[in-house]
Amino acid sequence: MSSFECFISKDNVKWFKEVIKTIEGCISEVKIDVSEHGLKLYNLNRSHIMFVQLDLNPEFFTEFILDNSKPVSFTASIGELYNVLNKHAIQEQFDPNNGELFFIQPRKDEFYWINLNNGKVYQYYVEKLNKNGFWVDTKDLNTVIKRLRIGDTFSLSEDEGSLIINIDGKSRKEFKINKLDTEDDVPSEPTLKDLSKIIVSFESYKEAIMDIDMLNLNNKLYFRLKDDELVISSHGKTGEVTISLNTLTGSSNNIKSCYSIRHIVQAIRWLKECKTELKIEMRQDTPIRFIYPDKNSNAFFKSLIAPRIEAE
């Protein structure tokens, strides 16, 4: 049985397609984690300048099924098992109705049961949440996802060696993308403190970034928070440009940082949901975080871009 299966409605197809295409433009491989909190797709780019993450909450799907049981059983003496588990577990419960001793070890996301049999032997089960995740090639993933058409619904699931994508529209299609054999350790989304947080119109923000990129002035892009405005600027040998955007909420004075325009553009080029609002979190000379939600705020595409530190 697949460890998970989720179904995405036709209303969410367009947003999902745009985000997957954007992810392909940022990173070549993506790690997929599955848990009771939904799906998480994430990785650093090769230069370690950009970190991207797509969070899909269970509410994003019309149906989200998680089968996290992976049982292992054997028999041995009760005393030996009890001593080992009691040493490492932080919580235990005993149910006298069925003679089951229950241990929890959350650091490993494992759940232990001892099924007692006449006080002499036991059966030992392990359930482990699928938080180790698996890897797929983003080009392969986007190649399949872009086959989705308006009105299609589709589902994601997995078997031992593949990510399975089923598309249901004018015809029924099943695609299998091989999991990558990699054990690369990907850091979690960095925790940044004391950030100034603002919200701007995504339509206005994207138009500003694409206008600046079109002029091809410089790879340096300056972000400045000033009162209730976000000021974005760039300059080069052929000229300069400054665009001010009104913030919808949040403000902070005298914060200015420089970033690579190439990575800023990569994070938004294929996103087109113009009616949404974009959340921006930044601080002087620290990574800047962009959070792009779906229309119901049940899914979030995040990009974190390192600053270019300039000499005084």
> pLDDT for 260-280, tens place per residue?
999 999 999 999 876 789 999
- 208 and 243 inside one domain: yes
Phi-psi group of 207: left, alpha or beta (phi > 0 → left; psi -120 to 50 → alpha; rest → beta)? alpha
Region for residue 267 given its phi and psi (left: phi exceeds 0; alpha: psi -120 to 50; beta: otherwise): alpha
**Residue at 310 is within a domain:** no
With a cut of 80, say whether residue 309 has pLDDT above it: no
Q: Is residue 71 part of a domain?
A: no
- Rounded Cα distance between 71 and 109, Å, is 14
Q: How far apart are CA 26 and CA 202, in angstroms?
A: 19
Distances from the Cα of 275 to the Cαs of 15, 48, 156, 202, 296, in angstroms?
12, 31, 27, 7, 12
In the predicted structure, residue 7 carries a pLDDT above the cut 90:
yes
Residues 168 and 100 in one domain: no
| Residue 109 within a domain | yes
Q: Are residues 92 and 172 in the same domain?
A: no
Q: Is 41 inside a domain boundary?
A: yes
Band of residue 200 on the pLDDT scale cut at 50, 70, 90: very high
pLDDT confidence of 71, banded at 50, 70, 90? very low
Centroid of chain to Cα 68: 20
Same domain assignment for residues 172 and 269: no
Q: Is 83 helix (H, G, I), strand (E, B) or coil?
A: helix
Same domain as 22, residue 171 = yes
pLDDT band at 87 (very low <50, low <70, confident <90, very high): low
Same domain for 279 and 208? Answer: yes
One domain, residues 168 and 259: no
> What rounded mean pLDDT belongs to the chain?
81
Q: What digits encode the pLDDT tens for the residues 130-141?
A: 346 899 999 999
The separation between CA 43 and the C-alpha centre of its own chain, rounded to angstroms, equals 8
Which three-class secondary structure state does DSSP give residue 71?
coil
Q: Do 19 and 164 have their domain in common? A: yes
Question: Do residues 113 and 218 both lie within one domain?
Answer: no
- For residue 171, the domain's CATH number is 3.10.150.10
Q: Of 40, 20, 26, 52, nearest to 287 (Cα)?
A: 52
Using the predicted structure, report yes or no on whether residue 311 has a pLDDT greater than 60.
no
Indicate whether 162 belongs to any domain: yes
Residue 311 domain-assigned? Answer: no
Residues 58 and 84 placed together within one structural domain of the fold = no
Instruction: Output the pLDDT for position 251.
Output: 63
Residues 128-157, mean pLDDT to the nearest whole number? 85
pLDDT of residue 39: 94
Handedness of CA 32, 38, 44, 50 (dihedral sign): positive
Q: Total structural domains in the chain?
A: 3
Q: What is the percent of the chain with per-residue pLDDT over 90, rounded to a whole number?
A: 53
> What pLDDT is recorded for position 275?
75
pLDDT for residue 222 is more than 80: yes
Q: Which residue range is the domain that position 90 belongs to? A: 78-128
Q: Which of 128, 143, 160 marks a domain boundary?
A: 128
End residue of a domain, out of 111, 128, 145: 128
Cβ(3)–Cβ(36) below 8 Å: no
Global pTM reads 0.78
Question: Do 213 and 87 reside in the same domain of the chain?
Answer: no
Lowest mean pLDDT among 20-29, 84-93, 153-162: 84-93
Residues 117 and 243 in one domain: no
Residue of higher predicted confidence among 50 and 101: 50
